[in-house]
Chains A and B, each alone.
Chain A
């Protein structure tokens, strides 16, 4: 690659060539003040040019099909990466089945449903289940819980943590004896201590927290799940300019996607429902509008069917749209009692 191919503006390129910088090697030897002097430009501009030149130099070195884009992976590497990844248990076997093993890391999952269906319960359950130790088939990670509605009841979290621990001990009766450190780890208190909780009172705070998360997650690399309960609440009020809302929300969703990918964690967004008038009738759909509906990787809709709670996988890049029953018990989210284990039926 030569100077002529550098992605810099035309006037800078002409100045570079006029000042005698004909190759990238010549440019790599220069420092910003010198370059600024030679080209008669500001120092920050010179720094930018040098930064671009350094990138170009790195790019030149690589070869092979993967080198088309620097840092990109090919599908084969991604496949082996995906196969070795663990999923976050939802607490219910049927629910895990329709989700392909549980909530996936590196993806954004939206969960929506009518009030009282158990969105928050599922959110809390995930915040607990992500901490199941690696030896027991969990991820052994920590969780970030962003609460916008004030519905995070810590007594309930304690209950769910106790339920989770009793289940671990049921499936892995030897766990306590085997791991000496496990003795102190498997306490509801330590589960509670590993949830980072943010209480948000306005949409500005919500945007700020999501911007801050990037730094926070950089410092806390063991966080495996970010739960936002709910993403909707503050955006459903105080917003006059709907176009602005759409823009802010789509920016927000890209940031969350980026966090999920960079820090290898699952992002779970809880959403409320609204009614929408289509084809002569009112139907329940998720809130925040059509543009928002594109901003998740997977979407799970929770609904009532008679007295049973059901979850329906509405959107997924790789899994079929099926539904499965689940129950919210004293111990948290579990399989529906009346259903047998294989009842994930095709809709």
Chain B
């Protein structure tokens, strides 16, 4: 599982590359016991129980997408949104962050690589959210909800690894003291962080991409996180296709592609890949949340 050799070869940047370590077997067992009963393996019933109890659907707040995905983002899964520039990817990320926080489902971690996290926009969406029964003053509620969205700007891949490591550590810590848990991790956009290091000639970039994928899926699975990442499109043969190539294609559980006509605010989301739904045919139109 650990690709140690290639990481050491990553040059000057390698020292800030947190080596993702494989814990000894007894520690794995101990950790798993927090979430699951049993030792080395799980049977189907355990899995079913885990899925029904821990893997909730988190609403994105965009009606079309929630219907399309049967409820929203699934905890424990990695979802990717891909689409042309200005097709509504960031809007859906912001909207999901606002809705998950406003429905008090947990803490949202938003990793932003394109300076497009707009707190004002989030505040506007939270304001429109139906107010719960407790009569809190508006600004107190807004303060509370917005404090549970944590944003960090990330501008290179090593920084991303470092932050993910911190997230993992704090998730482990929170398991012990039981305070409010992270439930959604958004990376907007993952492709802009990966694009500078990926090329055919240098295999290190690709192996970093895959170890990133491994870390994200591990976080999602062990700590019941829903992970949402955005990807861009590149010109393929004829039609544009999602970036990051074939080896990334297998990584996300769910893959949506967005498209939008210039000048209109209606987007079309199409399922490219889904673990439960038939792909390709399912598409849904939705208005860009504003």
Binding site for B on A (CB under 8 A): 1, 4-5, 7-10, 13, 48, 59, 65-76, 78-79, 81-83, 106-108, 243-244, 246-248, 250-251, 253-255, 257-258, 260-261, 289-291, 293-297, 299, 314-315, 317-318, 320-321, 347
Contacts and interface: CB of A to CB of B under 8 A. Distances in A.
A254 B154 CA distance: 9
A70 B4 contact: no
Given A74-B148, A291-B234, A321-B265, A8 B169 contact: no
A111 to B, nearest CB: 15
B165 A7 contact: yes
Nearest to A317: B116
Contact of A250 (B2, B121, B166, B195): B195
Instruction: Identify whether the interface residues of B are mostly helix, strand, loop, or mixed.
Output: mixed
A68 B149 contact: no
Nearest to B23: A4
B180 interface: yes
A81 B120 CA distance: 10
Contact of A315 (B86, B107, B109, B179): B86
B117 A78 contact: yes
Contact of B169 (A1, A75, A253, A260): A1
Contacts of B243: 291
Given A59-B166, A72-B152, A79 B84 contact: no
A254 B155 contact: yes
Interface of B: 2, 4, 8, 15, 18-23, 27, 84-86, 90-91, 94, 97, 101, 107, 109-110, 113-123, 142-143, 146-153, 155-156, 162-163, 165-167, 169-170, 172, 179-180, 182, 189, 191-193, 195-200, 232-235, 240, 243, 263, 265, 290
A294 B119 contact: no
B196 A299 contact: no
B115 A260 contact: yes
* The 8 residue pairs across chains A and B that have the minimum distance between CB atoms: A7-B18, A251-B196, A293-B85, A250-B195, A72-B152, A318-B118, A76-B146, A79-B119
Nearest to B148: A65
A107 B115 contact: yes
Contact of A290 (B2, B142, B189, B240): B240
Contacts of A318: 118, 120-121
Contacts of B15: 48
Contact of A69 (B27, B91, B167): B167
A289 B235 contact: yes
Contacts of A65: 107, 147-148, 150, 179-180
Contacts of A296: 114
A290 B199 contact: no
A73 B150 contact: yes
B189 A317 contact: no
Nearest to B20: A7
Contacts of B240: 290
A295 B8 CA distance: 30
A291 B240 CA distance: 11
Nearest to A12: B19
Nearest to A100: B120
Contact of B151 (A48, A74, A243): A74
Contact of B155 (A68, A75, A257): A257
Contacts of B27: 4
A250 B118 CA distance: 22
Given A293-B232, A297-B114, 10 more contacts: A65-B147, A72-B109, A75-B110, A75-B123, A76-B142, A79-B119, A108-B115, A254-B193, A290-B232, A294-B191
Nearest to B170: A68
B19 A74 contact: no
Contacts of B290: 320
Contacts of B172: 5
A76 B143 contact: yes
B20 to A, nearest CB: 8
B236 to A, nearest CB: 10
13 contacts: A1-B169, A9-B8, A9-B21, A68-B109, A69-B109, A72-B152, A73-B150, A76-B146, A250-B195, A251-B195, A258-B153, A318-B120, A321-B263
B147 A74 contact: yes
Contacts of B263: 321, 347
Nearest to A242: B235
Contacts of B110: 75
Contacts of A246: 195, 234
B85 A290 contact: yes
B114 A257 contact: yes
A301 to B, nearest CB: 10
B173 to A, nearest CB: 8
A70 B196 CA distance: 25
Nearest to A70: B166
Nearest to A78: B119
Contact of A75 (B2, B85, B151): B151
B232 A294 contact: yes
Contact of A317 (B91, B107, B153, B193): B91
A247 B243 CA distance: 12
Contact of B195 (A67, A108, A247, A258): A247
A107 B115 CA distance: 6
Contacts of B155: 254-255, 257-258, 261
B113 to A, nearest CB: 7
A10 B169 contact: no
B122 to A, nearest CB: 6
B265 A247 contact: no
A318 to B, nearest CB: 4
Contacts of A107: 115-116
A68 B199 contact: no
Contacts of B195: 246-247, 250-251, 291
